[in-house]
Amino acid sequence: MEQIDEIDKTILRLLQQDAKLTTKEIAAQLSLTLSPVYERIKRLENLGFIKQYVAILDKTRLGRPITTFCQVSMRYHDKAFIEKFEEEVQKLEEVQECYHMAGQVDFLLKINISSLDEYHDFVKNKLSQIENIGILNSTFVLKEIKHELGYRV
């Protein structure tokens, strides 16, 4: 059984907004007792609908308020080069997200940094050190307009 019903969806919606809700609080919203809610949460965890519970931190408070997106195009598209890049990018702590893209650009990187100086250092001494990079195109985030943490359920 891998299906979920409306009750499960409500549970997911609630936990996606606030992982600290108690079983009791969720049960109250659903007009159920603790056990069914408890069992359903365990099931949603076991089936992999819920992957993890995390604390969301404030990047500005942590001293790294700047976000940039960097488009990377490889010079050659040999499998070995691609895999090497994917491997190296895992090691770069500034890179928060990396996507292999369809289209002209091979990779899109989301990077989180404290200053333009740090970005300069990152591009010059870390990113550009990876073999076979052709074009780098960085754009800076001026303002986060929307940032939904959860998915539609």
Q: Which residues bind a second copy (CB under 8 A)?
A: 12, 15-20, 47-59, 61-62, 64, 67, 69, 86, 89-90, 93, 95-103, 105, 107-108, 112, 139-153
33 interacts with DNA by CB under 7 A: yes
Q: Which residue among 29, 36, 75, 137 contacts DNA (CB under 7 A)?
A: 36
Shortest gap between Cβ of 18 and DNA (angstroms)? 12
C-alpha to C-alpha distance for 66 and 108, rounded to whole angstroms:
17
- Nearest partner of 49 among 153, 129, 135, judged by Cα: 153
> Applying CB under 7 A, which part among 30-38, 56-64, 86-94, 95-103 lies near DNA?
30-38
Q: Give residue 25's identity as a one-letter amino acid code.
A: E
6 binds, among a second copy, DNA, none (CB under 5 to 8 A by kind): none
137 interacts with DNA by CB under 7 A: no
- Nearest partner of 87 among 132, 135, 140, judged by Cα: 132
C-alpha to C-alpha distance for 128 and 135, rounded to whole angstroms:
10
**Phi and psi torsions of 20, nearest 5°:** -90, 0
Structure tokens at 4: 């979920």
Q: Which residue among 14, 28, 38, 105 contacts DNA (CB under 7 A)?
A: 38
Compare residues 76 and 140 and give the one whose CB is closer to a second copy.
Answer: 140
The count of residues interacting with DNA (CB under 7 A) is 13
- The 10 Å Cβ neighbour count of residue 153 is 14
> Applying CB under 7 A, which part among 26-34, 82-90, 92-100, 125-133 lies near DNA?
26-34
- The 10 Å Cβ neighbour count of residue 8 is 17
Cα atoms found within 13 Å of the Cα of residue 80, Cβ hemisphere only: 1
- List contacts with DNA (CB under 7 A): 1, 7, 22-24, 32-36, 38-40
